[in-house]
Amino acid sequence: MLGTLLKGRYKIIRVLGAGGFGQTYVAEDLQQPDQSVCVVKHLKPSSQDTAFLQVARRLFDTEVETLRRLGSHDQIPGLLASFEDNQEFYFVQDFIEGCPLSEELSRNRRLSEAQVLDLLRDVLEILQFVHSKQVIHRDIKPSNLIRRQPDNKFVLIDFGAVKEIQTQITNESGKTGLTVGIGTQGYVPSEQLVGKPRFSSDLYALGMTAIQALTGLHPSQLPTHPDTAEVIWKDQTRISRRLEMILEKMVHFHFTQRFQSATEVLQTLDRMADPFNDFTLLPPTQSYNDETVLTEQALVTPEEWHRVPAGVWRKFSKTGWQAIAIASLAVTGTLLGARQLLVLKPLEMALFEKPEIAALDWMMRRKPDAGIDPRLLVVEITEADLREQKRFPLSDQVIAQTIANLNRYHPRAIGLDLLRDIPQEPGRDELLKQLHQPNVVVITKIGSNELDNTPPPPGFTLNHDQVGFNDIVIDPDDIVRRCLLFADYKNFTLRSFSLRLAQMYLKVQGIVPTSAPQNPDILKLGAAVFPPMEANAGGYQLMDARGYQILLNYRSAKNAARHVTLGQVLKNQVNPDWVKDKVILIGTTAPSIKDLFATPYGAIQRDDPKMPGVVIHAQMVSMILDAALNKQSLLWVWSEPIEILWIAGWTVVAGVLAWYVRRPLILIAVEFGVLVILGGFCWGIFTQHGWVPIFAPAVAVVLATAAVSSYGVLNDRQKSLRRSNSK
């Protein structure tokens, strides 16, 4: 190829790179006066089939337009030309004079923190532009970042055009539905490996590049945490805590925990550079508690406590009742106002929501374990099953055989918690036949956006009676506490996987969904009414209440249902009584598949802190069945007016005691007792399946005590002065 003249203009002078997808050359442009050099990327389709070439030509034209738009950025090579020659395709781009970051790292091993910050800013500004064009690079790594000689700015090269076209041609020919899996080991996040890259995938790759620059270690040399799969790197370098936190968030294993845009990272870097910005991210409750302490100290100093007149108890008077009333109204109003003001959302989260939810988790962990639900059976796909089958996703034939074996024993419902929109030969026709059995429920995935949506198997519409979405609602701290029953999507109201299975089970007993008598928009199923959660339900503040959600009342920390393995079902080694008239859920529990979710029990289960998705769905089915059959109530919350009365009541109790008790140490002991009683009430209500606020009333008790007791001290001092003056 060396010396070849392309299009009568571009003379190949050396090879720049080569691979299975194509070749890259440096060429001279003979039509330029100075015969300037350029880069030529060459794609040679692997087939000369007419249909294959038509697909290649269409994808090539699309990619040309994308590269043309991207090339308008100063730090992305411009597209000079594109052409087809003898059914082979060529791109011509600017040649960037400079040194790849990979060569810098091979020579110097590491970069300083300041140099890495410059690298991050440079590339993030490029990614801002790239992502605004709805393009994901998918192969950010040191060798694709060239430090340009004239200005030392980084240039982002190799958008994978040749690789993308070659792979998409194969995909279209094979009629698969996956996005292209382009990337380099160590820099590619998990979602990109399965063909579903996001903008945050580029942020992950850039974060790993920065970590390599700081540690001198290739990403593949860094260990990962055995449970969370997070990369362990912080012990390999010494940098500021601020940069450490930014990189940590960029390279989280799960994309929902990362920064979601380049703009967000740049804004965080700007905050990091501001010396007056509190970037230490101390737990908000700590700072707010400190403020509370200061307020109490301002109300009454230790010296003033010692000036309280002799005696333990203070008599009630009109002044005392006025002080109690004013303090109670002020404290209650302040707390309620803080909970409602949108501008104080971080304060609300720190001062109210997080402690309330922590209390809910604590009580959930300590409630009696209901044990195995005999109505359910989980068929789990374990690591041993994956080794035996030697593949994942499992073949359609294996899934079809599993369903057929189970149906021999007449279960009421079989739920397949595996996406089956893409054929996994062999056995596709056999599987579709089994999936259309009337007692089978399949899944679809709504996802967070169109790119994340996965349709049901062929032959099923979104609103089909045998289709349920398997999306699981996750709180901001990544813990599952809520159950989504209905969701609006594409002009349909879809039902959840767990609700479909519960309905199928209950239908045999003549129980079908109806509307609640008091409100036709509320679901009634059997003996239970399922009121949807509002944004401020229970301890939540400004919760995302879209769809139709209820609180998830976990049945058990581990054993919500009997478990058998896929291998046991395939070998007919399952007790028929465990299957007959039961709800069967089929899904993965193998840790390597990463279908795992954090639950309130994770804090006490160090060895196995997360719960497989199929087990969470089993928990939901069990909860719905218990409620519909009147065996256990759903978790309920109070309406906002009742919560206001609850908080105000504790404020009055604290104010009365603060006025009545004169001695500080006795008052502290009494108020501590009040807090213990408050906790006891909340626990007692939880045993009756109610979740009521505990932290807001506790704060109200402390503030009311401080305010009323301080006023009492000042009032006693004034009385003493008046008596002294009268003498």
**519: in domain:** yes
Q: For the chain, give the percent of residues with pLDDT over 70.
A: 85
What tens digit of pLDDT does each residue of 403-419 get?
999 999 999 999 999 99
CA-to-CA distance for 335 and 288, rounded, in angstroms? 13
The residue-averaged pLDDT of 392-397 equals 95
Is 219 in the same domain as 321? no
- DSSP states of 673-688: HHHHHHHHHHHHHHHT
Q: Is residue 193 part of a domain?
A: yes
Q: Which of 628, 647, 675 is the last residue of a domain?
A: 628
User: Catalytic annotation on 139?
Assistant: yes
Mean pLDDT confidence for 334-357: 65
Q: What is the pLDDT of residue 69?
A: 86
pLDDT band of residue 491 (cuts 50, 70, 90) is confident
Q: How far is CA 247 from CA 120, 233, 641, 643, 680, in A?
A: 10, 10, 44, 41, 43
Strand segments (E) across 496-568 = 513-516, 519-525, 528-530, 548-551, 562-565
**Per-residue pLDDT for 280 more than 80?**
no
Which two tokens mark 254?
A: 């799960």
Per the rule left: phi > 0, alpha: psi between -120 and 50, beta: everything else, 642 is alpha
Distance CA 24, CA 162 (A): 10
pLDDT over threshold 90, residue 27: yes
Please check whether residue 575 lies inside any domain of the structure. Answer: yes
Q: Verify that 499 and 614 share a domain, yes or no.
A: yes
Examine the domain organization and report whether 685 and 585 are in the same domain.
Answer: no
The answer as to whether 420 is a domain residue is yes
- pLDDT at site 317: 54
Q: Tally the C-alpha atoms within 13 A of residue 700's C-alpha that lie toward its C-beta.
A: 35
Report yes or no on 27 lying in a domain: yes
Domain match, 88 and 140 both: no
Cα torsion angle, 168, 169, 170, 174, sign: positive
3-state secondary structure of 146: strand
Confidence tier at 558 by pLDDT (50, 70, 90) = confident
Would you place residue 618 in the very low, low, confident or very high pLDDT band (cuts 50, 70, 90)?
very high
Count of domains forming the chain? 4
- CATH number, domain with residue 29: 3.30.200.20
Could you read off the pLDDT of 69-95 as tens digits, one per residue?
Answer: 888 899 999 999 999 888 889 989 999
Residues 486 and 529 in one domain: yes
Q: What was the pLDDT predicted at 218?
A: 93
> What pLDDT is stored for residue 514 in this prediction?
95
**Looking at the domain assignment, is residue 618 inside a domain?**
yes
Q: Is the dihedral of CA 308, 313, 317, 321 positive or negative?
A: positive
Question: Measured over all CA atoms, what is the biggest interatomic distance in the chain, rounded to whole angstroms?
Answer: 117
- Domain around 291: 284-367+632-727
Q: Give yes or no: residues 503 and 532 share one domain.
A: yes
> How does the average pLDDT of the chain come out, rounded?
85
- Domain boundary among the residues 596, 628, 660 is at 628
Which stretch of DSSP H or E encloses residue 625? helix 613-628
- Residue 35 banded pLDDT, cuts 50, 70, 90: confident
pLDDT tens by residue, 42-52: 888 777 788 88
Do 267 and 308 lie in one domain? The reply is no
Mean pLDDT, rounded, for 228-255: 92
Task: Dump pLDDT digits (tens) for 254-277.
Answer: 999 999 999 999 998 887 765 445
pLDDT in tens, 430-448: 999 999 999 999 999 998 8
State the CATH number of the domain containing residue 119. Answer: 1.10.510.10
Same domain? For 245 and 316 the reply is no
669 in the same domain as 531? no
**Is residue 278, in this structure, part of any structural domain at all?**
no
Res 351: pLDDT: 61
Q: What percent of the chain has pLDDT over 90?
A: 57
Whether 331 and 480 map to the same domain: the answer is no
pLDDT score at 543: 84
Instruction: Give helix 664-687 / helix 695-726 axis angle, nearest 10°.
Output: 160
Per DSSP, the residues of 175-191 read T--PPP----TTT--HH
Residue 247 has pLDDT above 70, yes or no: yes
CA-CA distance, 626 to 526, in Å (whole number)?
10
pLDDT digits (tens, 9 = 90+) for 658-711: 877 767 888 888 889 999 999 999 999 999 999 999 988 998 898 888 887 777
Reported pTM: 0.56
- pLDDT of 66 over the 90 cut: no
Q: Are 610 and 599 in contact (CB under 8 A)?
A: yes
pLDDT value of position 167: 52
499 and 397 together in one domain = yes
> Does the pLDDT of residue 527 top 90, yes or no?
yes
d(CA 59, CA 82): 13
End residue of a domain, out of 223, 245, 273: 273
Q: Whole-angstrom Cα distance, residue 695 to residue 693? A: 6
Residues 169 and 253 in one domain: yes
Catalytic one of 29, 122, 139, 202: 139
